[in-house]
Structure 1
Amino acid sequence: MARPGGTGTSPPEAAEVTVVVVAGGDPPSPGEIARLPDRAVVVAADHGLDHAYAAGLEVAVAVGDMDSVSPEALSAAEQAGTRVECHPVDKDQTDLELALEWAARLADRVIVIGAGGGRVDHLLGNLAVVASPRWAGTDIEVWLGEARAVVAHGRRALEAEPGATVSLFAVGGPARVTTTGLAWSLRDEVLEPLSGRGVSNRVVDAPAYIQVSEGVVLAVLP
C-alpha cells in the first residue's frame, strides 16, 4: 500500500491495480488497513481524506464537496500533488458516488472502507450506491470492520472459510441466483428484494460462488 509523500503521478494500467475508496464514515480499523493490497490506488471521498492520511495511505485522488474534510488534510493533499476534485455542496450525487466514478475508471476491483458510521441512513445509502448497475463491470466490496458486503452482478467468489455465515439480498428488484458451496443452495432461483429468504446461509465448501444471471445481489459476510 502506498504511503504519504508520493508525487500524484498516474496509476498503473487499470487491469493491474485495485482501487481503495476511503469514505468519510467511521475511520477504517487497523485490521482493515493491514489487509489492503500493497499496490492499491487510493481515492478519498471528502472526509475520507482525513481517514486515509491518519492510516498512512497515499491518496491519488480526493473528490467530493469538501464540506467535512479538515483544512490540514486538504492542504497536505494539494502540497503532495494529489488530484483534488471539488464539487458544489448542493449536488445530486453523494461523495461516495463521485469517488466510485473515479474508481470504476481506474480498475476492475474496488474495495470501499470507511463506509460505516453513526447514521443508519448513510450506511444504507452507501450500500445502495455500491450495488448500482452503473458499476456492473467492476467488482466492488465494502469492508465494515470484520464484516464484508460483496456486490454480485455476475459470477463472484465468496472468500470465506467453511462455517462462515453469508446472507444474500436482492437489490433494486428481483434477482435470479445460482449458488455453489453454500448449505442451502439456490439453483437458478429468484430472490425477491423484500424477502428474508437469503438471510443466514452458511459456507460449506470454500470457495463458495454466487452466479447472478439477472439483477444485483449484495452478499453480506458478517
Structure 2
Amino acid sequence: MTPPTEPKVTVVVVAGGDPPTPEEIARLPANPVVVAADSGLDHAQAAGLTVAIAVGDMDSVSPEALTTAEQSGTRIERHPPDKDQTDLELALELATRLADRVIVIGAGGGRLDHLIGNLTVLASPQWSGVQIEAWLNNTQVLIVHSHRTLEAEPGDTVSLFALGGPAKVTTTGLKWPLNDEVLEPLTSRGVSNQATTPTPQITVSEGVVLAVIP
C-alpha cells in the first residue's frame, strides 16, 4: 500500500474538555485554522488562538467568549440543544471538509462517557480520507484507516486497539511486530508495545485502529 502524501491543510479542533496545555499549544502548526466546539471557544481564546468557526448548541460557552468571537469576525454556527450529534462531531464535520489533517485538543477530562464518545467519533469511517489525531495532555491518539507514521522515541509505549470490528494490521518499528495479522476488538493483544525507531509505521488493510502513545 502506498502511503498517503503529506497533509497540506491542517485544522485544529478545540473541544470543551480539559483546557489545552501550553506544551500542546506550542506544538501546533503556525497560524492554524481553528474550529471551536462550544466551550472550546473559551479554551481557544484563553490560549491565544484565533478561531475561524465556532460550532455547537452554545450551552456551555461563556457569554463573554461569544461576544469576543462575534466582534472579532468568528463565524458562529448554532445548533439546537436537542440534536443527535455531539458538538465535537459537528466540529469534525466542518474540519474534515476544510483539511486533510485534523488535530483535536481539549477532548479529555470531565465525564468518562464524553471521553469514550469523543474517541469513537474520531474513528468514524466518514473521516477515513483525513488524518485525525487527538492530543490528551501527554497522550497522543492517532486514527489509522490505512497508513500512519507515528512520532515516537525508541522505548515509547505504543498501544493499538481495533475499533468497530477486527482489523488486519502490519507494523514496522515496534518491538513486537504484526505482519498482516488480525487484531481483534475487545482484547488486550495490542496493549503496551514499544517503539524501536522514531517513526514506527502502522498499515491497516482492513478495519480501523486506534494508536495510543502515552
TM class by smaller structure: over 0.9
**1:49 alignment partner in structure 2:** 41
**2:3 alignment partner in structure 1:** none
* 2:149 aligned residue (153, 157, 169): 157
Contact 1:17 1:39 in 2 (8 A): no
**Map of 1:101-116 to 2, 5 A cutoff?**
101-116=93-108
Cα distance in structure 2, aligned partners of 1:165 and 1:123: 21
Cα distance in structure 1, aligned partners of 2:123 and 2:74: 28
Which AA in structure 2 matches 1:38?
A
* 1:178 aligned residue (134, 153, 170): 170
Cα distance in structure 1, aligned partners of 2:14 and 2:152: 23
Give how far 1:146 is off.
1.1
Cα distance in structure 2, aligned partners of 1:205 and 1:29: 27
Aligned residues: percent identity?
Answer: 73
Which AA in structure 2 matches 1:159?
E
Cα shift readout 1:186-213 (whole Å, capped 9, x = no counterpart): 0001111101000000000221100000
Cα distance in structure 1, aligned partners of 2:185 and 2:46: 38
**Map of 1:1-222 to 2, 5 A cutoff?**
16-222=8-214
Cα distance in structure 1, aligned partners of 2:153 and 2:131: 20
Figure out how many residues of one structure are paired with residues of the other and give that number.
Answer: 208
- List structure 1 runs of 4+ shifted beyond 6 angstroms: none
Q: TM-score, normalized by length of structure 2?
A: 0.96
Query: How large is the RMSD of aligned CA atoms in angstroms?
Result: 0.8
Cα shift readout 1:155-212 (whole Å, capped 9, x = no counterpart): 1001101110000000111111000000000000111110100000000022110000
Give how far 1:77 is off.
0.9
Unaligned runs of 5+ in 2: 1-6
Cα distance in structure 2, aligned partners of 1:75 and 1:214: 46
